[in-house]
Amino acid sequence: MLHISRSLTKLLGELKKLPSVGDKTALRLAFHLLKSPENLSALAESLLEVRDGVRFCSTCFGITESDPCHLCTTPRDDASICVVEEPQDILAMERCQAFKGRYHVLHGALSPLNGVTPGQLRIAELLQRLEKGLVKEVLLATNFTVEGEATALYLTRLIKPLSIKVTRLAHGIPIGSDLEYVDAATVQRAVEGRSEL
């Protein structure tokens, strides 16, 4: 077993908490950072800046430095809301420029196997926004995974009785894929070809 310093062991432990970082990648990243003290300081500073400056918008639950965020305050179509799983999915939708309404981030998807229940997602907050009566269409842009589809189905059952049109991104987005990794042209086609549920 490699004998390394306590602080380096701690850094490796933190790096391994990141998605898809295992032992080898953590070591590679840590040693890369150690080679350049400037990079290490810049990374440490930007981590602190993000910790202190970035928060979730209290309306849409996207990431923002000012609350409410610019997507909630700039002039956009108030009659439609696009529901996504994660804040980064908003970026995927905005890249394709086909959607002009507001957003709502659930912060996850229903997954009974992993113990994710409706109460753990921002569903109650979504319903509160819909109660104001401005919204005519909810576009469900949850991922095309088992969890994303189950969440879309669950939301459809909740929203349809409110006489609000519920639509889903058209297929064409590969089954099993996360929205954030789909190219902009494909997302644009999926938005334009959305179908009512």
- With CB under 5 A as the contact rule, which of the stretches 43-51, 71-79, 137-145, 159-167 interacts with Zn ion? 71-79
- Binding of residue 59 to Zn ion (CB under 5 A): yes
- With CB under 5 A as the contact rule, which of the stretches 28-36, 52-60, 93-101, 119-127 interacts with Zn ion? 52-60
Comparing CB distances to Zn ion, the nearer of 11 and 135 is 135
Length of the chain: 197
CB of 60 to Zn ion, least distance (A): 3
CB neighbours of residue 181 within 10 Å: 10
- Binding of residue 57 to Zn ion (CB under 5 A): yes
Phi, psi torsion values for 168, nearest 5 degrees: -130, 145
Distant-in-sequence, close-in-space partners of 1: CB < 8 Å, separation ≥ 6: none
The rounded Cα 50 to chain-centroid distance in angstroms is 17
Name the DSSP letter for residue 16.
T
- Binding of residue 72 to Zn ion (CB under 5 A): yes
- Binding of residue 69 to Zn ion (CB under 5 A): yes
Report the distance separating Cα 62 and Cα 154, nearest Å: 21
CB of 101 to Zn ion, least distance (A): 12
Binding site for Zn ion (CB under 5 A): 57, 59-60, 62, 68-69, 72
